[in-house]
Amino acid sequence: MASASASGVPEAAEALRGHRILSSRLYLDDVPTSQVHSESYLNSLKSSKKVARIVEVPAVALLPNFLVQQKLLYPFRKHLNVGGSVLSAKLALERGWAINIGGGFHHCSAEEGSGFCAYADIALCIQFAFIRLNISRVMIIDLDAHQGNGHEKDFGNDGRVYTLDMYNSGIYPFEHVAKKYIDQKVELDSGTKTEDYLENLDKALKVAECRFQPQLIVYNAGTDILDGDPLGRLKVSPEDVAIRDEKVFRFAKDQNIPLLMLTSGGDFSHHSLIYCLDPVNQFALKLFQEKFLHELWLRATRVWSLAFLFQLVLAGHHLWRANLQRMPDDLVESPLLDVNPPTRARSVVQDSCRYAA
Ligand SMILES: [Zn+2]
């Protein structure tokens, strides 16, 4: 392990380990503090008020911070967010593709959490790929309805990362500083319909293919582009969300590039996984039949009441119990499993919840 220096590099790695963001076995000592969470940012999460602002749930400010740490932030670090995305990056390289249903918190940067995103799992799993997986070129394809301002700020001046971001420019986060860091920006208007959406995507993928040759694709696949989503305000049908995902998978397959998919924002019960991956379908549906948890988080983003405090604790309990689950070996007959033949790809499915990012 590298020794501490004035550059702040080892300190960044120590902060990640000290705050239990990453396992002590994951030495990311070469990562500069500008690209991972600093000690000061991680310490700021010891304030429940700060966390309440990040997750946009005012009731969290009233909770003791130890409860916020245990029931809200710890599951995000371990299972729902950082841990799952890092593991999925490793699996994507090993097996062709992998999915972390809990990942894709693209509004969080090294120094600032927002939009329900407390940890920058995208930046961290890419740093992990750089340092531990011998990768030097990564393409982020961010098709969540919102701009991915977090990873854009983290990798703005990093030539190893190419960002294609297609988003609704009329909604949160209106992050003009981060926009200048996007390598390939496709801005959509509210109300954009399926046909236009897919046409824009086709054009964008063709341009991306010419401009950058990555060794790993990180696909942020938010479903808040769905028609009827109150936050995304686009009008893409569920069937065409599946087509969108297939286009990105084909894009990776045609170039033989490993793909890491993060499901990001939106309502998972309508996620394209349900339509695309029949074997995964049954498994995922089983996980997400816990409508109780789903409804709690639905209310969590909108309701401010004492009753909600009780609900929040229960939701945290469910999250705490969420465990990383691997797909059984026999679930390998999906139409998308020929992404990188002859590798027998399997996906990692992780329990998750609806969130508003
Ligand atoms: Zn979103």
Decide: 142 and 220 in contact? Cβ < 8 Å: yes
Residue 183 token pair: 């390598």
For domain 65-350, give the CATH superfamily. Histone deacetylase domain (3.40.800.20)
Each residue's pLDDT tens digit, 233-257: 999 998 899 899 999 999 999 999 9
The span from the CA of 299 to the CA of 296, in Å, is 5
* Closest of 355, 339, 357 to residue 98, by C-alpha: 339
**Distance, CA 57 to ligand 1 centroid (Å)?**
17
**Distance, CA 222 to ligand 1 centroid (Å)?**
6
Taking residues 171-194, report their average pLDDT: 95
For residue 77, what pLDDT is reported?
A: 74
Q: Are strands 138-142 and 97-100 parallel, antiparallel or unpaired?
A: unpaired
* Closest of 134, 146, 55, 54 to residue 94, by C-alpha: 134
Residue 270 token pair: 């309508």
Active-site option among 107, 146, 294, 318: 107
Taking residues 85-113, report their average pLDDT: 89
**Distance, CA 34 to ligand 1 centroid (Å)?**
24
What is the distance of C-alpha 139 from the center of its chain?
14
Decide: 63 and 39 in contact? Cβ < 8 Å: no
The span from the CA of 120 to the CA of 126, in Å, is 10
Taking residues 291-307, report their average pLDDT: 50
Which residues does residue 184 pair with via DSSP β-bridges, in sequence order? 164
**Distance, CA 297 to ligand 1 centroid (Å)?**
15
Each residue's pLDDT tens digit, 14-68: 666 666 665 545 545 555 555 678 788 888 999 999 999 998 888 999 999 999 9
Residue 349 has pLDDT above 50, yes or no: no
**Distance, CA 18 to ligand 1 centroid (Å)?**
30
Q: Where are the domains of the chain?
A: 65-350
Residue 93 token pair: 């390289």
* Closest of 169, 124, 126 to residue 149, by C-alpha: 169
Is 37 assigned a catalytic role? no
